[in-house]
Structure 1
Amino acid sequence: MHPFVSVVIPAKNEQGNIGLLIKEISEVLHALGNIQFEVVLVNDGSKDNTVIEAKEFAAQSQCQLQVISHEASCGQSTALHTGIFHAKGEWIVTSDADGQNDPADIPALLQAAQQVQTEHFCIAGFRNKRLDTPWVRLQSKIANGIRQRFLNDGVPDSGCGLKVFPKRTFQALPYFDHMHRFLPALIKRINGKIVVCPVNHRNRAVGQSNYTAWSRAWVGVVDMFGVMWLRKRTKLPRIISEEIE
């Protein structure tokens, strides 16, 4: 029996993508048969009909849906933080809202999570056959190489939005803007286990990304050194006895 699962999706102006994504998630998880789940949509300042579309498709799919709306866009990390805070599930599945993450991969990630014996863990998706342009793939290859060199988090694809981890694991992490790019490194910092699973990568059906590769790259460099600082300042005591009198 799976723990209750919350699929947390940050979305900004994803009309045309979000409805089909919720429908696919619902079909995939209903097919498992023995799982309770919900979708938590964080509407991050959308100006289109993202929320209306999500509610319509959730009702059609008999999918339990929470919608939390930010007055203005706060970015992906803050949207994830909001969604996970409101999530009812013991396990969190994160997914991008544009449909490029394939919900059909979620069962394999959940199965991998069931094999983990440690309290804290992260099952991280790896888009081993990316459909991005050669220029975007080159930037990602360089960025992932630099991150591995300095953080050694064991994840070849930090930009993949598809991940599974316990809610309590996320709650044990420090919050800062752009933290979602470093979840495996932050979880490894608290002795969490990192497991990488190959996942599918699809083309976006409608619209375009709300931020550029260059902005992600420059912000990522600054944050990477911040994560390195956190790791060096972390002390995890090993308790050898506990006595109550």
Structure 2
Amino acid sequence: MYTPAMTKVPRMSLPLSVVVPLYNEEDNVLLLYNAVSDALAPIGIDYELLLVDDGSHDATCAVAIALVGHDRHVRVLKFRRNYGQTAAMAAGIEAARGEVIVTMDGDLQNDPADIPRLLTLINQGYDIAVGWRKQREDEIARVLISKIANAIMARIMGVRIRDSGCSLKAFRAPLIQNLPMYGEMHRFIPALSQLAGARLIQIEVNHRPRQFGVSKYGFSRIYKVMLDIVSIRALLSYARRPMRWLRLPILLSLLTGLLFFVISMANEAHNSLILIGIAFCFVSLAAFLFAWGLIGQSLTIMDRQMARYATLASTMSTRLEAHLDQEAGT
């Protein structure tokens, strides 16, 4: 995923890492650097600006690398090709050395001037500070779709995040660096973290119109986000109790197989062989699902990735019931 020339930097603790994925943002890189520098200089905090080039085809990486020689705060990671925002975000988070990690987009629609406000909330004891773009500078259709996705996620996962699509967030590093990410998972980090018991606060942040470059967000991402919402809910449910999740399919397959076997006993020899074959298929399916459940149960104990999902899932039912009770009372 990384270029061969990239070497692993020894992990040294810093107060802050700012992680920014970039894809074809050559006109915004220098402006972004200046905005982040201006925002953090007054508070006198030591930090690193981690720019992750997600396989850009323009001069984005060249501009970013030029900044490395100019300012010790800047680090650059480069992908050989475009892997997507979540992969770029995950790579930056993994490489970050800060005790607190701030994520943001590279198109300057997120305002770096809001970073000190997020850090203040982290210093007050919160684990996550999430930006909320109350006044969005986007097309009406995109805003509407985002609101629908947020509502669906709140309903399915039991965590109400006002603006899951806002990349401007601050996290305590140990929390975010232990979360598995894939697909469009960076959007769900706050919800998953809160399910794991993190203290979360949401604040209104500035949102600006894009000045340079082209938006990478199209309607093709909608189905991916929706699919990820359903996938995460199913995965968390399965990770929590794999055998319980498969109990109904196993029971239905077994009963169907037994039903066909009983029917075969009352039929002629020629038809009974066909019915016995069908019965055998359903019983075999029940046995396969049972074995799958046992394997899943073992993975939640033995595999670290599944164990993390199981930890997140352990609080899901209680939080979902509380969320639904709160909705019923309003």
Residue 181 of structure 1: aligned partner: 187
Distance 2:67 2:27 in 1: 11
Partner residue of 1:223 out of 206, 219, 228: 228
Residue 82 of structure 2: aligned partner: 73
Higher radius of gyration, 1 or 2? 2
CA displacement at 1:145 relative to structure 2? 1.4
Q: Taking structure 2 as the reference length, what is the TM-score of the superposition?
A: 0.66
Distance 1:42 1:57 in 2: 13
Q: Judging by fraction of residues, say which structure has more helix.
A: 2
Letter of the 1:37 partner, please give it: Y
Residue 47 of structure 1: aligned partner: 57
Residue 84 in structure 1 maps to residue 93 in structure 2: yes
Residue 9 of structure 1: aligned partner: 20
**Alignment CA distance shift 1:191-1:230 (3 Å):** farther
**Could you tell which deviates more after superposition, 173-182 or 157-166?**
173-182
Residue 241 of structure 1: aligned partner: none
Letter of the 1:168 partner, please give it: P
Distance 1:168 1:17 in 2: 30
Contact 1:22–1:58 (CA<8 Å) still a contact in 2? no
Contact 2:119–2:170 (CA<8 Å) still a contact in 1? yes
Contact 2:68–2:76 (CA<8 Å) still a contact in 1? no
CA displacement at 1:177 relative to structure 2? 2.2
Deviation string 1:57-106 (CA, Å, 9 cap, x unpaired) is 5666x451110100001111110111111111111100100000000000
Residue 200 of structure 1: aligned partner: 206
Q: 1:58-137 residue pairs with structure 2 within 5 A?
A: 62=71, 64-116=73-125, 121-137=127-143
Moved over 6 A (4+): none
Percent of aligned positions with the same letter in both sequences? 39
**Could you tell which deviates more after superposition, 187-196 or 227-236?**
227-236
Provide the alpha-carbon RMSD of the alignment: 1.9
Contact 1:189–1:231 (CA<8 Å) still a contact in 2? no
Distance 2:157 2:26 in 1: 36
Q: Judging by fraction of residues, say which structure has more strand.
A: 1
Letter of the 1:146 partner, please give it: I
Query: Does the residue aligned with 2:64 lie in a helix, a strand or coil?
Result: helix
Deviation string 1:169-196 (CA, Å, 9 cap, x unpaired) is 1222122221101011111121111110
Contact 1:20–1:57 (CA<8 Å) still a contact in 2? no
Q: 1:123-162 residue pairs with structure 2 within 5 A?
A: 123-162=129-168
Corresponding pairs, count: 230
CA displacement at 1:226 relative to structure 2? 2.0
Contact 1:124–1:195 (CA<8 Å) still a contact in 2? yes
Contact 1:8–1:84 (CA<8 Å) still a contact in 2? yes
Distance 2:215 2:195 in 1: 30
Query: Does the residue aligned with 1:165 lie in a helix, a strand or coil?
Result: strand
Distance 1:70 1:40 in 2: 13
Letter of the 1:163 partner, please give it: K
Distance 1:51 1:95 in 2: 17
